[in-house]
Amino acid sequence: MTYSADADAMIDALNRTPNWARVRGAIDDETLSSILTEAAKVAESVVAPVDIPADRIGAQFANGKVTVPEAYHAAFDALAEGGWLGLEHPEDFGGMGMPLTLFAAANPLFERAAPAFMMSVGGTRSAALLLAEWAAPEMRDDWVPALIAGERCATICISEPGAGSDVGRIRTRAVPDGDGWKVSGQKIWISFGDHDIRERIGHCLLARTGTEPGTRGLSLFLVERGPGVTCDRIEEKMGLHGSPTCALLFDEAPARLIGTEGRGLAQLFTMIRHMRLTVACQGLGTALKCHDVAAIHAQDRRQGGNPKEPPVPIIEHPDVRRQLIALKSAIDLYRLAMLEAATSADLSAEDEDARRLNAWMLPLIKNFGAELGFDTAGKAIMVLGGAGFTQDYPLEQSLRDSRVFAIYEGTTGMQGQDFFLRQTLGDGGAALEIFLTRARAECANHPAMAAVIEDFAAFMARAMAEPDRTRQAGMADSVLRAGWIAVQAWMATRIAETPEAAFFMAQARAELALQIARAEGPTL
C-alpha cells in the first residue's frame, strides 16, 4: 500500500467507528479526505526522505552542543508551515482546532515516514497542550502559539538517575528566587533535549519544592535553554539514531512555575492521553511501513515452484500468504481499536462512560501499538529472509527503532499494572462493565466474537475476586493481554466480512485461554 492507500484505509476505519459520527462535527467527508490525503503527501515527499540518511548520520554531540541531520531543518519547517504541529490544538492559539481523533488518524502517516525525526515534534506538541492547560496567561500566551507555529521547541523532563518511572524519587530541586525559581539537578532520557532545529527550547520539568517524600512535593516548571542548562551527553542507542536522547544538567537555572506548587505530577498527567496516543501512532506507522515492504517483496521476489518452469513470486506460496495476512489482520484490528480510544477521548469531557472507557483502553492502546510496530518489523524480516536482515531494506532499522516504543511512557509491565490494578480494580470494575456492555451489544450477531467476550468476562470476575493483592499484581501482564484479545474480538465485528477478521477469530479463543491459564497458574 502507498501512503495514500494508508490514508484511505484510515478513512474507512473511521467510518466503521460508531462514535466518529459524534466527534466529527463540521468535518465532512471531503474535508476528511483532503486532510488525510495532504498528510500522506507531506509524509511521503517531505518526511520520509530524511529517515534512512538520519539513521546513518545520527545526531552529533560536540562542545556541549547537539546537531541533528541537516535535512531535519527543512522537514520541520514544512510541518510547521503546513499547520501540522497544531492539528488538534485550539484555534485561539493558532491550531486547527480538530478533534484528537483526527490527530490519531493523520499522525501514523508521519510516524511511518520517519519516527526518529517525529520525536522532535512529539515533545513540542505535548508541551503546548500542557502549557495551554496549566500555565499562567502571560506564559501560556507567549509559549503556546510559538510552539504550535513551530517557532520554538519543547521537551518533557521527568527521568533522572535512580528515578525513572518511580517519579517519587526525583531529586532535582527548585528553590524560590525573588519572583521566580532556580532549578538544580540532572535529567536523563530527554528526547531532543538539545538540538539546532530552533534556538529556543523550553523544558517542562518536574522538580521537588516541598519536603514531603514521594510525589506530593513535586512541582512543574518551565526552564528555557540558556544560563544554567547544559547538555552533558547524548546516548548511544540501539535505534532512533536521528533522535538525540540527552542528559541535561541544571545548575541554578532560572525557572517559572507552571500551575500550582506541589501539583506537578497531577498537572503532567494532562498529557498522558496524548503521549500514549502518540506511541500508538508510532507503532501503527511502523507496522504499515514494514507490512508494505514485505508485501511488495513477496510480489517481486521469485523463488520455488515447478523446477521445470520459471520460479514463481513467493506470494504464491501458502506460508508466505499466511504470514502476510497475519500482519494485516493485526494492523486492521489495531487501527480500529486506536480510533475507538481516540473517539472516547474526544467525548470524555461530556460523557463519563467515554472517559472511563478511554482510561481503561489507553494502556492497551499504548502497549499493543508498541508491540505491533516491533512485531511487524520482526515478522516482515522473516518474509524477506536474509535480505531483510540487511540495510538494503528498511526493516532492520524499523526493528531497532521500534523496540523503545514499549519502554517509554511506561513499560509493558507498568501498563499491565495500570490496566488491571488501577483502571479495573481501582475503578471498582465500572470501566470494565462499560466495555462489556458495548462489546456485547456489537457482538450480539457474531457468536464467535461473543464467545470470546463471555470467556473474558468470566475470567475477569475471577481475577477481580482474587483476595491476594500480590498475586493480582503478578497476574497483571496476562490480564492486559487477555483484555487486548477481547478488544480485538470486539473490533473484529466491524470488519466481520473480511479474511483479516476471520484469521484472527480462528485463534482468538485459544489465545485467550492461554492467557487465562498463565494468569491462574502457579506464581513464582
Tens digits of residue pLDDT in 423-433: 999 999 999 99
- Model confidence pLDDT, tens digit, residues 350-395: 999 999 999 999 999 999 999 999 999 999 999 999 999 999 999 9
In whole angstroms, give the CA distance from residue 393 to residue 380. 11
132 with 7, same domain?
Answer: yes
Q: Look at residue 149 in the predicted model and tell me its pLDDT.
A: 97
* Contacts for 86 with CB less than 8 Å, ≥ 6 apart: 93, 94, 95, 96, 125, 128, 148, 149
170 with 143, same domain?
Answer: no
- Model confidence pLDDT, tens digit, residues 222-263: 999 999 999 999 999 999 999 999 999 999 999 999 999 999
**In 3-state terms, what secondary structure has residue 315?**
helix
CATH number, domain containing residue 110: 1.10.540.10
pLDDT at position 459 over 90: yes
Q: Look at residue 299 in the predicted model and tell me its pLDDT.
A: 93
Q: Look at residue 271 in the predicted model and tell me its pLDDT.
A: 82
Marked catalytic residue, from 111, 160, 409, 442: 409
Q: Look at residue 270 in the predicted model and tell me its pLDDT.
A: 82
Answer with the one of 113, 148, 183 that is the final residue of a domain: 148
Mean pLDDT to the nearest integer, 313-333? 96
* Contacts for 18 with CB less than 8 Å, ≥ 6 apart: none
135 with 204, same domain?
Answer: no
449, exposed or middle or buried, with CB in 10 Å at 0-12, 13-18, 19+? Answer: buried
pLDDT at position 406 over 70: yes
Mean pLDDT to the nearest integer, 502-518? 96
Whether 141 maps to a domain, the answer reads yes
Contact between 438 and 490 (Cβ < 8 Å): yes
Catalytic residue check, 409:
yes
Answer with the one of 238, 262, 286 that is the final residue of a domain: 262
Whether 375 maps to a domain, the answer reads no
Whether 180 maps to a domain, the answer reads yes
**In 3-state terms, what secondary structure has residue 185?**
strand
233 with 143, same domain?
Answer: no
Q: Residue 524: pLDDT band by 50, 70, 90 thresholds?
A: low
Whole-prediction pTM: 0.96
State the cell numbers at 512.
485467550
Whether 65 maps to a domain, the answer reads yes
What residue type is 78 in one-letter code? A
Mean pLDDT to the nearest integer, 289-318? 92
Q: Look at residue 465 in the predicted model and tell me its pLDDT.
A: 96
- Model confidence pLDDT, tens digit, residues 462-487: 999 999 999 999 999 999 999 999 99
Q: Look at residue 401 in the predicted model and tell me its pLDDT.
A: 97
Whether 299 maps to a domain, the answer reads no
The mean of the pLDDT values for the chain is: 95
CA end-to-end span of the chain: 45
Q: Look at residue 168 in the predicted model and tell me its pLDDT.
A: 84
Could you list the residue range(s) of the whole structural domain that residue 24 is in? 3-148
133 with 39, same domain?
Answer: yes
Whether 84 maps to a domain, the answer reads yes
pLDDT at position 302 over 90: no
Q: Residue 345: pLDDT band by 50, 70, 90 thresholds?
A: very high
Contact between 255 and 222 (Cβ < 8 Å): yes
CATH number, domain containing residue 255: 2.40.110.10
65 with 100, same domain?
Answer: yes
Whether 99 maps to a domain, the answer reads yes
**In 3-state terms, what secondary structure has residue 221?**
strand
Length of the chain: 524
98 with 208, same domain?
Answer: no
Q: Look at residue 314 in the predicted model and tell me its pLDDT.
A: 87
In whole angstroms, give the CA distance from residue 454 to residue 461. 11
Residue 399's alpha-carbon distances to 241, 280, 380, 387, in angstroms, are 13, 16, 10, 14
Q: Report percent pLDDT > 90 for the chain.
A: 90
29 with 133, same domain?
Answer: yes
Q: Look at residue 164 in the predicted model and tell me its pLDDT.
A: 78
Lowest mean pLDDT among 305-309, 339-343, 437-441, 506-510: 305-309
In whole angstroms, give the CA distance from residue 166 to residue 206. 13
Q: Look at residue 1 in the predicted model and tell me its pLDDT.
A: 64
177 with 144, same domain?
Answer: no
Q: Look at residue 165 in the predicted model and tell me its pLDDT.
A: 80
17 with 130, same domain?
Answer: yes
Whether 466 maps to a domain, the answer reads yes
Question: Which residue, chain included where needed, has cell 520455488?
Answer: 304
What residue type is 472 in one-letter code? Q
In whole angstroms, give the CA distance from residue 10 to residue 373. 17
Answer with the one of 148, 179, 194 that is the final residue of a domain: 148
Domains of the chain: total: 3
163 with 227, same domain?
Answer: yes
- Model confidence pLDDT, tens digit, residues 75-112: 999 999 999 999 999 999 999 999 999 999 999 999 99
131 with 162, same domain?
Answer: no
